[in-house]
Amino acid sequence: MAKKLYIGGLSYSTTEDELRDAFSQVGAVESASIVIDRMTGRSRGFGFVEMSSDDEAQAAIEMWNGKELGGRTLTVNEARPMEARAPRREGGGGGFNRDRGGARSGGFGGQRRNSW
């Protein structure tokens, strides 16, 4: 059974191929992925590697946790399931404001209208 590992502390320039190559020194890598920021398209500095067995995953943790890759010290441990998050609030600034008669307000100011 494959075991998924969390890899933290990655250099922003590390590629998925480099990550796969580094962890394949320990055993068979099923998959390697780096988490990319949606807004910037840049690496967020962490990713996941899925090893083909529990023994290989443990060997990868022992080999890479605290070691350097691409000039950065890695944190490697067993990935945990993503925890449920609270639902996001609607709006986020500039949304519908009932206190002002339904007019949009908020944001970064803007042009003020004259009330003649």
- Which is more confidently placed, 41 or 98? 41
Segment 2-32, tens digit of pLDDT: 699 999 999 999 999 999 999 999 999 999 9
Report field, pTM of the whole predicted structure over 0.75: no
Q: DSSP characters for 11-24?
A: -TT--HHHHHHHHT
User: How confident is the model at residue 73, as a pLDDT?
Assistant: 96
Judge contact between 19 and 7, C-beta under 8 A: yes
User: How confident is the model at residue 39, as a pLDDT?
Assistant: 94
User: How confident is the model at residue 32, as a pLDDT?
Assistant: 96
Residues ≥6 apart with Cβ < 8 Å to 14: 34, 43, 47, 69, 70
* Topology, domain 3-78: Alpha-Beta Plaits (3.30.70)
Segment 33-91, tens digit of pLDDT: 999 999 999 999 999 999 999 999 999 999 999 999 999 999 999 998 878 878 877 65
- Per-residue pLDDT band at 101 (split at 50, 70, 90): low
User: How confident is the model at residue 89, as a pLDDT?
Assistant: 76
- Looking up tokens 């949009």 gives 104
